[in-house]
Amino acid sequence: MVKIKICGITRIEDIFFIEKYPVDYLGFILYPPSPRFVGGNLKNLLSHVKRAMRVVVMVNPTYEEAKKVLDQGADFIQLHGDENLELGRKLGLDRIIKAFRVKDFINFEQLTLWKGAHAILLDTFKKGVPGGTGQTFNWELATDVVKKGFKVFLAGGLNPENLEEAIRKVRPYGIDISSGVEKSPGIKDPEKIEKIFQILEKSH
């Protein structure tokens, strides 16, 4: 069964609501330019997650910054910048989700370096934006990555309308949804969340 990761959580009430459903991962953004940046509220938010795996999204953190987040209760760090493998190894590759922004081809050499990570995440490339574009990319590219044996989270513009097709075409390890289940940045929409889980139930 495909894993579900809901990202860009900023409110405790959204954690409570989402955890009524069989969500596997919850994501929190620790990147100041993001409209979903949780800042000093991270530890408090992480402490309210009871069931899902806690993922904290960071862009080019230092080892000390990332280690502090793990010490605060994160299960995984999602590296969304140009981090090197050395950082991943130092933190523990099994605690890393490495994000790659996809334009019009996949650099398998780069991906292979991170094969020891918990998973890789494929998101849409947009110049100057490390992630959270709300736009899809060519899923054929993601399908190639899955076929080559990579454990893939599919991200980028997923919503209740295209979710079923995405799962059917790509067959990823997991799907990552953020803006597709929001009322506004960082504020989740209960109706869209419910719809996502209805679709997932139906597609298995």
Whether residue 131 is predicted with pLDDT greater than 60 in this model: the reply is no
Of 80, 118, 124, which is closest to residue 97 (Cα–Cα)? 118
Model pLDDT, residue 22:
96
Active site residues: 7, 123
Instruction: Judge contact between 178 and 132, C-beta under 8 A.
Output: yes
| 137 DSSP 8-state letter | -
Model pLDDT, residue 202:
80
Compute the average pLDDT of residues 78-107.
95
User: Domain span at residue 167?
Assistant: 3-202
Give the pLDDT band of residue 204 (cuts 50, 70, 90).
low
pTM passes above 0.85: yes
Model pLDDT, residue 125:
81
Of 184, 188, 112, which is closest to residue 150 (Cα–Cα)? 112
What is the Cα–Cα distance from 71 to 50, expressed in whole angstroms?
17
28 strand-pairing partners? 56
Q: What is the total count of domains within the chain?
A: 1
CATH of the domain at 107: 3.20.20.70
Degrees to nearest 5, angle at CA 203 with 180 and 196: 25
Model pLDDT, residue 128:
62
